[in-house]
Structure 1
Amino acid sequence: MHYVSIDLETTGTNPGRHQIIEFGAVLENTNKDTDLQNLPRFKRIVKHPEYTGQAFALNLNARIFQELVQPSGAAQVCEAPELAPQFKDFLLNNGYETDEEKSYVRIIAAGKNFAAFDLGFLNNLPGWREHIRISQQILDPAMYYLNFKEDQKMPSLEECKKRAGFEDTTVTHDALDDALDVVRLLRLHY
Protein backbone atom coordinates (compact mmCIF):
# COMPACT_ATOMS: atom_id res chain seq x y z
CA MET A 1 0.00 0.00 0.00
CA HIS A 2 1.14 3.52 -0.80
CA TYR A 3 0.16 6.54 1.25
CA VAL A 4 1.28 10.13 1.67
CA SER A 5 1.73 11.57 5.15
CA ILE A 6 0.87 15.27 4.95
CA ASP A 7 1.11 18.01 7.53
CA LEU A 8 0.43 21.74 7.32
CA GLU A 9 1.33 24.78 9.33
CA THR A 10 -1.26 27.54 9.06
CA THR A 11 -1.93 31.08 10.24
CA GLY A 12 -4.97 29.94 12.25
CA THR A 13 -7.70 27.34 12.56
CA ASN A 14 -10.30 28.61 10.07
CA PRO A 15 -9.68 27.28 6.53
CA GLY A 16 -12.03 29.88 5.07
CA ARG A 17 -10.06 32.76 6.54
CA HIS A 18 -6.53 31.60 7.41
CA GLN A 19 -3.73 30.39 5.17
CA ILE A 20 -1.35 27.48 4.70
CA ILE A 21 2.18 28.73 5.33
CA GLU A 22 4.05 25.41 5.29
CA PHE A 23 3.33 22.10 3.57
CA GLY A 24 5.22 18.88 4.26
CA ALA A 25 4.70 15.41 2.79
CA VAL A 26 6.42 12.03 3.09
CA LEU A 27 5.75 9.14 0.68
CA GLU A 28 5.44 5.68 2.22
CA ASN A 29 5.21 2.28 0.56
CA THR A 30 4.27 -0.31 3.18
CA ASN A 31 5.55 -3.11 0.90
CA LYS A 32 9.13 -1.82 1.07
CA ASP A 33 11.37 -1.62 4.10
CA THR A 34 12.82 1.80 3.27
CA ASP A 35 14.76 3.56 6.00
CA LEU A 36 12.81 6.57 7.27
CA GLN A 37 15.59 8.94 6.26
CA ASN A 38 15.41 7.72 2.65
CA LEU A 39 11.69 8.21 2.11
CA PRO A 40 10.81 10.76 -0.59
CA ARG A 41 9.99 14.13 0.99
CA PHE A 42 8.42 17.35 -0.19
CA LYS A 43 8.38 20.63 1.72
CA ARG A 44 7.36 24.15 0.78
CA ILE A 45 6.93 27.41 2.61
CA VAL A 46 3.88 29.05 1.08
CA LYS A 47 4.03 32.76 0.37
CA HIS A 48 0.93 34.98 0.28
CA PRO A 49 0.55 38.70 -0.56
CA GLU A 50 -0.91 39.28 2.93
CA TYR A 51 -1.46 37.13 6.00
CA THR A 52 -4.50 36.81 8.22
CA GLY A 53 -4.01 34.90 11.42
CA GLN A 54 -4.48 34.16 15.06
CA ALA A 55 -1.80 35.26 17.52
CA PHE A 56 -1.04 31.75 18.81
CA ALA A 57 -0.53 30.36 15.27
CA LEU A 58 1.58 33.29 14.13
CA ASN A 59 3.76 32.96 17.22
CA LEU A 60 4.01 29.18 16.86
CA ASN A 61 5.20 29.58 13.27
CA ALA A 62 7.52 32.57 13.72
CA ARG A 63 10.42 30.63 12.14
CA ILE A 64 8.46 30.38 8.88
CA PHE A 65 7.97 34.14 8.76
CA GLN A 66 11.68 34.62 9.48
CA GLU A 67 12.44 32.46 6.43
CA LEU A 68 10.06 34.56 4.32
CA VAL A 69 11.62 37.85 5.48
CA GLN A 70 15.26 36.77 5.52
CA PRO A 71 15.58 33.68 3.30
CA SER A 72 18.44 31.39 4.26
CA GLY A 73 18.19 29.43 1.03
CA ALA A 74 17.53 26.26 3.02
CA ALA A 75 13.77 26.36 2.47
CA GLN A 76 11.93 26.18 -0.82
CA VAL A 77 9.31 28.89 -1.11
CA CYS A 78 6.39 29.02 -3.51
CA GLU A 79 3.30 31.13 -4.08
CA ALA A 80 -0.01 29.54 -3.00
CA PRO A 81 -1.17 28.79 -6.59
CA GLU A 82 2.15 27.03 -7.28
CA LEU A 83 1.89 24.53 -4.43
CA ALA A 84 -0.54 22.02 -5.98
CA PRO A 85 1.23 21.74 -9.37
CA GLN A 86 4.63 21.44 -7.68
CA PHE A 87 3.33 18.72 -5.36
CA LYS A 88 1.73 16.91 -8.31
CA ASP A 89 5.07 16.98 -10.17
CA PHE A 90 6.77 15.56 -7.07
CA LEU A 91 4.24 12.72 -6.94
CA LEU A 92 4.60 11.98 -10.67
CA ASN A 93 8.40 11.94 -10.30
CA ASN A 94 8.03 9.37 -7.51
CA GLY A 95 5.90 6.78 -9.29
CA TYR A 96 2.37 8.15 -9.02
CA GLU A 97 0.26 8.51 -12.14
CA THR A 98 -2.66 10.67 -13.13
CA ASP A 99 -6.04 9.07 -12.52
CA GLU A 100 -7.54 7.35 -15.59
CA GLU A 101 -6.90 9.99 -18.25
CA LYS A 102 -7.72 12.77 -15.79
CA SER A 103 -5.25 15.51 -15.00
CA TYR A 104 -5.10 14.87 -11.26
CA VAL A 105 -3.23 12.41 -9.05
CA ARG A 106 -5.25 10.48 -6.46
CA ILE A 107 -3.58 9.67 -3.14
CA ILE A 108 -4.35 8.03 0.17
CA ALA A 109 -3.44 10.59 2.81
CA ALA A 110 -2.26 10.12 6.37
CA GLY A 111 -1.96 12.68 9.09
CA LYS A 112 -2.88 13.57 12.64
CA ASN A 113 -6.26 15.31 12.36
CA PHE A 114 -5.84 15.42 8.57
CA ALA A 115 -9.52 14.85 7.74
CA ALA A 116 -10.80 17.38 10.30
CA PHE A 117 -8.17 20.09 9.79
CA ASP A 118 -5.66 19.90 6.93
CA LEU A 119 -8.08 18.73 4.24
CA GLY A 120 -10.25 21.84 4.64
CA PHE A 121 -7.24 24.08 4.05
CA LEU A 122 -6.07 22.06 1.05
CA ASN A 123 -9.49 22.11 -0.58
CA ASN A 124 -9.40 25.94 -0.35
CA LEU A 125 -5.96 26.14 -1.94
CA PRO A 126 -6.01 27.53 -5.51
CA GLY A 127 -5.91 24.67 -8.04
CA TRP A 128 -5.67 21.90 -5.44
CA ARG A 129 -8.50 19.71 -6.76
CA GLU A 130 -7.35 20.20 -10.35
CA HIS A 131 -4.04 18.52 -9.45
CA ILE A 132 -4.62 16.36 -6.36
CA ARG A 133 -7.52 14.26 -5.13
CA ILE A 134 -7.55 12.73 -1.68
CA SER A 135 -9.10 9.30 -1.27
CA GLN A 136 -11.86 9.05 1.33
CA GLN A 137 -9.63 6.49 3.06
CA ILE A 138 -7.57 8.68 5.40
CA LEU A 139 -5.12 7.25 7.92
CA ASP A 140 -4.92 8.89 11.35
CA PRO A 141 -2.47 7.29 13.79
CA ALA A 142 -4.55 8.42 16.81
CA MET A 143 -6.81 5.38 16.40
CA TYR A 144 -3.90 3.12 17.38
CA TYR A 145 -3.17 5.12 20.52
CA LEU A 146 -6.67 5.87 21.75
CA ASN A 147 -7.62 4.60 25.21
CA PHE A 148 -11.35 3.97 24.76
CA LYS A 149 -11.98 3.70 28.50
CA GLU A 150 -10.19 6.84 29.66
CA ASP A 151 -9.81 9.31 26.79
CA GLN A 152 -12.46 11.96 26.28
CA LYS A 153 -10.92 13.04 22.95
CA MET A 154 -8.46 11.72 20.42
CA PRO A 155 -4.85 11.83 21.64
CA SER A 156 -2.60 14.59 20.30
CA LEU A 157 0.49 13.84 18.24
CA GLU A 158 2.61 14.34 21.37
CA GLU A 159 0.42 11.92 23.33
CA CYS A 160 0.55 9.36 20.51
CA LYS A 161 4.35 9.55 20.58
CA LYS A 162 4.34 9.05 24.38
CA ARG A 163 2.01 6.04 24.15
CA ALA A 164 4.14 4.58 21.35
CA GLY A 165 7.16 4.74 23.66
CA PHE A 166 9.19 7.25 21.65
CA GLU A 167 12.08 8.74 23.60
CA ASP A 168 11.58 12.16 22.03
CA THR A 169 7.91 13.16 22.22
CA THR A 170 8.48 16.74 21.08
CA VAL A 171 6.17 18.03 18.37
CA THR A 172 8.27 20.47 16.37
CA HIS A 173 5.43 22.08 14.40
CA ASP A 174 7.61 21.73 11.33
CA ALA A 175 5.33 20.27 8.65
CA LEU A 176 7.89 17.78 7.35
CA ASP A 177 8.97 16.60 10.83
CA ASP A 178 5.36 16.10 11.90
CA ALA A 179 4.52 14.21 8.67
CA LEU A 180 7.49 11.93 9.33
CA ASP A 181 6.29 11.34 12.92
CA VAL A 182 2.97 10.09 11.52
CA VAL A 183 4.83 7.54 9.38
CA ARG A 184 6.85 6.46 12.42
CA LEU A 185 3.65 6.00 14.47
CA LEU A 186 1.90 4.05 11.73
CA ARG A 187 4.94 1.84 11.04
CA LEU A 188 4.62 0.32 14.49
CA HIS A 189 1.42 -1.35 13.23
CA TYR A 190 2.53 -2.86 9.91
Structure 2
Amino acid sequence: MIDTRTVVLVEGVSDKSAVEALAGRRGLDLAGEGIVVVAMGGATNIRAHVGRFGPAGRGLRLAGLCDAGEEEEFRRAFEGAGLGSELSRSDLEALGFFVCVADLEDELIRALGTAAVERVVDAEGELGSFRTLQKQLVWRERTTHDQLRRFMGSGGGRKIRYSGLLVAALDLDQVPRPLDMLLAHLLLGSRR
Protein backbone atom coordinates (compact mmCIF):
# COMPACT_ATOMS: atom_id res chain seq x y z
CA MET A 1 0.00 0.00 0.00
CA ILE A 2 2.98 2.29 -0.39
CA ASP A 3 1.63 4.05 -3.50
CA THR A 4 -2.00 3.91 -2.43
CA ARG A 5 -4.03 7.07 -2.85
CA THR A 6 -7.56 5.62 -2.59
CA VAL A 7 -8.96 2.82 -0.46
CA VAL A 8 -12.25 1.25 -1.50
CA LEU A 9 -13.95 -0.22 1.56
CA VAL A 10 -16.39 -3.06 0.95
CA GLU A 11 -18.07 -5.43 3.37
CA GLY A 12 -16.77 -8.74 2.07
CA VAL A 13 -14.61 -10.63 -0.41
CA SER A 14 -17.50 -11.13 -2.86
CA ASP A 15 -17.94 -7.35 -3.08
CA LYS A 16 -14.18 -6.95 -3.59
CA SER A 17 -14.28 -9.51 -6.39
CA ALA A 18 -17.15 -7.69 -8.13
CA VAL A 19 -15.47 -4.27 -7.91
CA GLU A 20 -12.19 -5.65 -9.26
CA ALA A 21 -13.98 -7.53 -12.05
CA LEU A 22 -15.86 -4.42 -13.18
CA ALA A 23 -12.73 -2.29 -12.98
CA GLY A 24 -11.00 -4.81 -15.25
CA ARG A 25 -13.88 -4.77 -17.72
CA ARG A 26 -13.83 -0.97 -17.78
CA GLY A 27 -10.07 -0.85 -18.28
CA LEU A 28 -9.31 0.72 -14.91
CA ASP A 29 -5.95 -0.46 -13.60
CA LEU A 30 -6.66 -0.20 -9.89
CA ALA A 31 -3.08 -0.77 -8.73
CA GLY A 32 -1.71 1.55 -11.40
CA GLU A 33 -4.07 4.28 -10.22
CA GLY A 34 -3.12 3.78 -6.57
CA ILE A 35 -6.48 2.22 -5.69
CA VAL A 36 -6.76 -0.70 -3.27
CA VAL A 37 -10.01 -2.56 -2.57
CA VAL A 38 -10.25 -3.74 1.03
CA ALA A 39 -12.74 -6.39 2.17
CA MET A 40 -13.41 -5.37 5.76
CA GLY A 41 -14.87 -8.65 7.00
CA GLY A 42 -18.26 -7.08 7.67
CA ALA A 43 -19.84 -3.66 7.97
CA THR A 44 -19.21 -3.43 11.70
CA ASN A 45 -15.53 -2.96 10.89
CA ILE A 46 -16.11 0.30 9.01
CA ARG A 47 -15.21 2.54 11.95
CA ALA A 48 -11.80 0.89 12.38
CA HIS A 49 -11.06 1.10 8.64
CA VAL A 50 -12.11 4.74 8.36
CA GLY A 51 -9.89 5.44 11.37
CA ARG A 52 -6.96 3.59 9.82
CA PHE A 53 -7.19 4.95 6.27
CA GLY A 54 -9.22 8.17 6.57
CA PRO A 55 -8.38 11.69 7.76
CA ALA A 56 -7.18 10.68 11.24
CA GLY A 57 -5.15 7.77 9.88
CA ARG A 58 -3.25 7.67 6.60
CA GLY A 59 -5.30 10.52 5.11
CA LEU A 60 -6.24 8.55 2.00
CA ARG A 61 -9.22 9.14 -0.25
CA LEU A 62 -12.00 6.72 0.73
CA ALA A 63 -14.77 5.15 -1.34
CA GLY A 64 -16.89 2.04 -1.12
CA LEU A 65 -20.12 0.09 -1.10
CA CYS A 66 -22.47 -0.97 1.65
CA ASP A 67 -25.77 -2.79 1.96
CA ALA A 68 -28.88 -0.75 2.82
CA GLY A 69 -29.12 -2.58 6.13
CA GLU A 70 -25.63 -1.34 7.05
CA GLU A 71 -26.01 2.24 5.86
CA GLU A 72 -26.50 3.62 9.38
CA GLU A 73 -23.31 1.89 10.57
CA PHE A 74 -21.37 3.58 7.76
CA ARG A 75 -23.03 6.94 8.45
CA ARG A 76 -22.03 6.81 12.14
CA ALA A 77 -18.44 5.90 11.24
CA PHE A 78 -18.11 8.87 8.87
CA GLU A 79 -19.71 11.26 11.31
CA GLY A 80 -17.40 9.98 14.06
CA ALA A 81 -14.41 10.61 11.77
CA GLY A 82 -15.48 14.21 11.24
CA LEU A 83 -16.62 13.70 7.64
CA GLY A 84 -19.98 15.40 8.21
CA SER A 85 -23.03 15.31 10.41
CA GLU A 86 -26.57 14.09 9.82
CA LEU A 87 -25.34 12.59 6.55
CA SER A 88 -27.99 11.76 3.96
CA ARG A 89 -27.57 9.12 1.29
CA SER A 90 -26.60 11.92 -1.12
CA ASP A 91 -23.94 13.01 1.36
CA LEU A 92 -22.62 9.43 1.49
CA GLU A 93 -22.44 9.38 -2.30
CA ALA A 94 -20.56 12.68 -2.30
CA LEU A 95 -18.05 10.99 0.01
CA GLY A 96 -17.77 8.13 -2.53
CA PHE A 97 -19.93 5.53 -0.75
CA PHE A 98 -22.83 3.92 -2.55
CA VAL A 99 -25.66 1.86 -1.07
CA CYS A 100 -26.94 -1.45 -2.48
CA VAL A 101 -30.69 -2.02 -2.06
CA ALA A 102 -30.32 -5.36 -0.24
CA ASP A 103 -26.78 -6.38 -1.11
CA LEU A 104 -24.57 -6.50 -4.19
CA GLU A 105 -25.75 -9.98 -5.19
CA ASP A 106 -29.34 -8.69 -5.18
CA GLU A 107 -28.27 -5.79 -7.40
CA LEU A 108 -26.44 -8.09 -9.83
CA ILE A 109 -29.34 -10.56 -10.07
CA ARG A 110 -31.79 -7.73 -10.79
CA ALA A 111 -29.47 -6.20 -13.40
CA LEU A 112 -28.92 -9.49 -15.22
CA GLY A 113 -32.35 -11.00 -14.78
CA THR A 114 -32.94 -14.45 -13.36
CA ALA A 115 -32.69 -16.29 -16.70
CA ALA A 116 -29.20 -14.90 -17.34
CA VAL A 117 -28.10 -15.74 -13.78
CA GLU A 118 -29.39 -19.29 -14.24
CA ARG A 119 -27.27 -19.55 -17.41
CA VAL A 120 -24.20 -18.52 -15.39
CA VAL A 121 -25.07 -21.13 -12.73
CA ASP A 122 -25.53 -23.74 -15.47
CA ALA A 123 -22.16 -22.85 -17.03
CA GLU A 124 -20.60 -23.54 -13.61
CA GLY A 125 -22.22 -26.97 -13.53
CA GLU A 126 -24.44 -26.10 -10.57
CA LEU A 127 -27.89 -25.82 -12.12
CA GLY A 128 -28.84 -29.20 -10.62
CA SER A 129 -27.91 -27.97 -7.16
CA PHE A 130 -29.95 -24.82 -7.73
CA ARG A 131 -32.96 -26.88 -8.85
CA THR A 132 -32.64 -28.92 -5.66
CA LEU A 133 -32.80 -25.74 -3.58
CA GLN A 134 -35.88 -24.63 -5.52
CA LYS A 135 -37.66 -27.86 -4.54
CA GLN A 136 -37.05 -27.40 -0.82
CA LEU A 137 -40.27 -26.69 1.04
CA VAL A 138 -39.07 -23.38 2.48
CA TRP A 139 -38.04 -22.08 -0.99
CA ARG A 140 -40.77 -23.51 -3.28
CA GLU A 141 -43.08 -20.51 -3.05
CA ARG A 142 -40.34 -17.88 -3.18
CA THR A 143 -39.43 -15.96 -6.34
CA THR A 144 -36.61 -17.19 -8.54
CA HIS A 145 -34.77 -14.00 -7.61
CA ASP A 146 -34.95 -14.85 -3.89
CA GLN A 147 -33.97 -18.45 -4.60
CA LEU A 148 -30.90 -17.31 -6.53
CA ARG A 149 -29.87 -14.95 -3.72
CA ARG A 150 -30.13 -17.83 -1.25
CA PHE A 151 -28.22 -20.13 -3.59
CA MET A 152 -25.40 -17.59 -3.96
CA GLY A 153 -25.19 -17.26 -0.19
CA SER A 154 -25.04 -21.00 0.44
CA GLY A 155 -22.12 -23.31 -0.17
CA GLY A 156 -18.48 -22.65 0.52
CA GLY A 157 -17.26 -19.60 -1.35
CA ARG A 158 -20.16 -19.52 -3.81
CA LYS A 159 -20.85 -15.81 -3.25
CA ILE A 160 -17.20 -14.98 -3.89
CA ARG A 161 -16.97 -17.11 -7.02
CA TYR A 162 -20.23 -15.92 -8.55
CA SER A 163 -19.80 -12.18 -7.94
CA GLY A 164 -17.05 -11.91 -10.57
CA LEU A 165 -18.90 -14.25 -12.93
CA LEU A 166 -22.08 -12.18 -12.70
CA VAL A 167 -20.14 -8.98 -13.39
CA ALA A 168 -18.55 -10.70 -16.40
CA ALA A 169 -22.04 -11.57 -17.71
CA LEU A 170 -23.33 -7.98 -17.44
CA ASP A 171 -23.84 -5.69 -20.38
CA LEU A 172 -21.75 -2.68 -19.42
CA ASP A 173 -24.77 -0.42 -19.87
CA GLN A 174 -26.72 -2.44 -17.27
CA VAL A 175 -24.31 -2.30 -14.34
CA PRO A 176 -26.20 -1.87 -11.04
CA ARG A 177 -26.29 1.78 -9.97
CA PRO A 178 -24.17 1.50 -6.78
CA LEU A 179 -21.40 -0.41 -8.57
CA ASP A 180 -21.59 1.84 -11.62
CA MET A 181 -21.47 5.01 -9.48
CA LEU A 182 -18.53 3.66 -7.46
CA LEU A 183 -16.51 2.98 -10.63
CA ALA A 184 -17.42 6.39 -12.05
CA HIS A 185 -16.26 7.97 -8.77
CA LEU A 186 -12.98 6.03 -8.92
CA LEU A 187 -12.41 6.94 -12.58
CA LEU A 188 -13.05 10.61 -11.83
CA GLY A 189 -10.62 10.52 -8.90
CA SER A 190 -7.93 8.77 -10.92
CA ARG A 191 -7.98 11.61 -13.49
CA ARG A 192 -7.30 14.30 -10.90
Normalising by structure 1, report the TM-score: 0.29
Q: When you count helix as a share of all residues, which structure comes out higher? A: 2
Normalising by structure 2, report the TM-score: 0.29
Q: Give 1 or 2 for the bigger CA radius of gyration.
A: 2
